[in-house]
Amino acid sequence: MKNQNLLAEWPTIALLAATYALWAVAVFLLPEASLWLAVPLVAITAAQHSSLSHEVIHGHPFRSAFWNAVLVFPSLDLCVPYLRFKDTHLAHHNDPLLTDPYDDPESNYMDPGEWEKLSPWLQRFLRFNNTMLGRLTVGPMIGHVFWLRGDLAAIRKGDRRILESWLLQIPAAALVVWLVLLSPMPFWAYLIGAYASLSLLKIRTFLEHRAHEKSRARTVIIEDRGPLALLFLNNNLHVVHHAHPKVPWYRLPAMYRADPEGFLKRNEGYRYRSYAEVFARYFWRAKDPVPHPLWRR
C-alpha cells in the first residue's frame, strides 16, 4: 500500500499531540495535587508514546523518515533507543523467522540447548516471567538485561550501528530527564511511571506470537475494542498488522471486520476475545514454555 498523504494521517498527529500534552500534565501539574494520579498517567502516556513510535517505524504520519523520527525523539520511557527499536522491530517483521530464538529479536523463546545450561533458580525465574504476573512485574527488567547483554556483545565486536543507536539515546533521554528535574514530580516517581509503562506494553507482547510449524499461524488476533486497543493502537489485531504492516493503526479494525474469517484462517484460529480472557487464563500460569518447543538447529 502506498504511503498515506499528510491529510490522511491526522489521527496519528492528533494522538501524538494529545499524548505529549497529557504527559506534560502528568509531570508538571498533577504531582502537586496527587502523585497517585501523576505516576499512572506517566505510565499511560509513555506507553502510548511507544505505540506511536511503532507507527513511525512503519512510515507514519509523514513520508519523511527523518521528520517522523523527530516527532518521537524524546524517550519518555528513558531506556528504549528509537533506532534500536526500529532496527529490531523491522527485523522482527521477517515472518518466516517469527519466534526464532536467534533471528527474531522480539522472540520470547530460548534455544533449548541454552536453556538446559541455566541454573535451576534462573529457570524458575524465567518460567515465572512467562506468566502475565511475571511479565508485568519482572518482565521489563528481564527483557532489558537480555537486550543490553546482546547489544554490548555486538558493540564489543565492532557493530557501529548499535553503538550509534545507544549514543543517540543519551540526548533523547537527557531531554526528558531535564524536563522532569524542572518539574515538581520527584525523579523517583517518574522512574516508577517509566517502568510501569514498559509493564503495560508487556501486556501486548505477552502472547503476540506462538510456536507453530507454519509461520502464518504464529501471530495472534485479540478482538478487544477497549482502552488497551487504543493504547496499543490496534496491534491486538496483530495478524492484520503483520499482513499489512504499512497500513496505519486506525484502519486495522475495518480491515479485520471486512474479512475476519480470512485472517483467522490465515493464523489457524489463534484468537482471544479480549485481554480480560488473556488475564483470566494466564495471570498465574505460563502460556508457553521458555525453551522453544519446536526448535531445530
Mean pLDDT of 181-191: 98
The whole-number pLDDT of residue 54 equals 97
- Residues near 24 by beta carbon (within 8 Å), at least 6 away in sequence: none
What confidence score (pLDDT) does residue 281 get?
97
**b or e along 165-183 (b: 16 or more beta carbons within 10 Å of the residue's beta carbon)?**
beebbeebbeebeebbeeb
CA dist 5 and 248 (Å) reads 12
Partners of 222 in beta bridges:
272
Task: At 112, list the grid cell.
Answer: 533449548
* Residue 4 pLDDT: 42
Instruction: Report pLDDT for 8.
Output: 54
Count: domains in the chain: 1
Residue 180 lies in a domain: yes
**Residue given cell 506517566 in the structure block:** 42
Q: Which of 136, 162, 138, 134 is nearest to 149 (CA)?
A: 162
- Torsion sign over Cα 177, 89, 236, 286: negative
- Give a yes or no: residue 100 inside a domain: yes
Is residue 1 pLDDT above 60, yes or no? no
**Within a domain: 288:** no
Grid coordinates representing 115 are 536453556
Q: Are 51 and 145 in contact (CB under 8 A)?
A: no
Residue 3 has pLDDT above 60, yes or no: no
Q: What is the pLDDT of residue 2?
A: 44
SS3 state at 222 = strand
| In a domain? residue 69 | yes
User: Do the domain assignments include residue 78?
Assistant: yes
Distance from chain centroid for Cα 97: 18
Residue 292 lies in a domain: no
- Mean pLDDT of the 39-52 span: 98
Could you identify the residue written with the cell 506494553? 201
Q: Tell me, yes or no, whether 221 lies in a domain.
A: yes
pTM value is 0.94
> Which residues, at least 6 apart from 274, have a Cβ–Cβ distance to it below 8 Å?
222, 223, 224, 226
Which residues form the domain of 264? Answer: 6-282
What separation, in Å, do the N-terminal and C-terminal C-alpha atoms of the chain show?
36
pLDDT at 9: 87
The per-residue pLDDT for 295 is 86
Residue with cell 565492532: 158
Which of 169, 173, 126 has the alpha carbon at shortest distance from 146? 126
Q: How far apart are CA 131 and CA 160, in angstroms?
A: 36
Determine contact, residues 165/84, Cβ cutoff 8 Å.
yes
Strand 271-272 and strand 221-222: the pairing is parallel
Instruction: Look at residue 189 and tell me if it is in a domain.
Output: yes
CA 47 – CA 10 distance, rounded (Å): 20
